[in-house]
């Protein structure tokens, strides 16, 4: 009963956060909502007794990659300001769900640790050894393709931000003086 309740709760939270990622117009809020979805997925991994995968999921995706996405979004400056009066209530409700989710996750982890200390693990699913064997044998190619795609996305974002900083042809540059004392046009 308890596991089913938490499963439906965090599955719903994951779906709500994912829908907010898709339908929001502000990319900064979309990345932050994606972080909430990743934390909810980590809780689902804890429910499956895959503790190592849950920790790696939080550290790698929510901790590193999504923070990098947020940095790239802020570097590009594509976010626009929304009036606080419109969205303030929605953010408070969403923040309340996140706080409740984190509190439930802490309770779930405490319960899982106390119950797993009494039992002896017989299945190796979700352990470091099992994940390592799968990652470097069966899933090696998808893992490397994902890392290359992330690298291409980062390089593309940097190229796009550089392109916006370069002056267009025929644009007046006030600090550049050409021969004869006139300002140069590019």
How far apart are alpha carbons 44 and 108 in whole angstroms?
11
CATH architecture entry for 2-120: Up-down Bundle (1.20)
Q: Measured between alpha carbons, how far is 173 from 14 in angstroms, rounded to an integer?
A: 49
Q: pTM of the predicted model, to two decimals?
A: 0.49
Residue 16, pLDDT score: 92
Q: What token pair was written down for 12?
A: 């719903």
When pLDDT is averaged across residues 75-86 and rounded to a whole number, the result is: 60
User: What Å distances lie between residue 88 and 17, 93, 95, 126, CA to CA?
Assistant: 17, 9, 10, 40
Query: What confidence score (pLDDT) does residue 67 get?
Result: 75
pLDDT digits (tens, 9 = 90+) for 137-158: 888 888 888 888 878 887 887 7
* Range among 47-56, 78-87, 126-135, 161-170 with highest mean pLDDT value: 47-56
pLDDT at 51: 82
Cα distances (Å, whole numbers) of residue 184 to 133, 165, 175, 178, 181: 62, 18, 9, 5, 9
């Amino acid at each position: 009963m308890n596991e089913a309740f938490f499963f439906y709760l965090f599955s719903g939270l994951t779906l709500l956060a994912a829908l907010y990622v898709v339908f929001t117009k502000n990319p900064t809020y979309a990345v932050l909502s994606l972080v909430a979805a990743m934390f909810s997925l980590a809780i689902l991994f804890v429910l499956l007794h895959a503790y190592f995968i849950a920790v790696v999921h939080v550290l790698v995706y929510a901790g590193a990659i999504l923070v990098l996405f947020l940095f790239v979004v802020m570097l590009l400056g594509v976010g626009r300001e929304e009036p606080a009066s419109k969205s303030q209530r929605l953010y408070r409700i969403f923040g309340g769900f996140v706080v409740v989710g984190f509190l439930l996750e802490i309770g779930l982890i405490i319960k899982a640790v106390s119950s797993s200390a009494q039992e002896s693990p017989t299945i190796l699913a979700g352990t470091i050894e099992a994940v390592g064997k799968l990652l470097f044998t069966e899933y090696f190619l998808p893992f490397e393709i994902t890392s290359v795609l992330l690298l291409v996305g980062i390089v593309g974002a940097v190229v796009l931000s550089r392109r916006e900083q370069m002056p267009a042809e025929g644009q007046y540059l006030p600090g550049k003086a050409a021969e004869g004392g006139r300002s140069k046009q590019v």
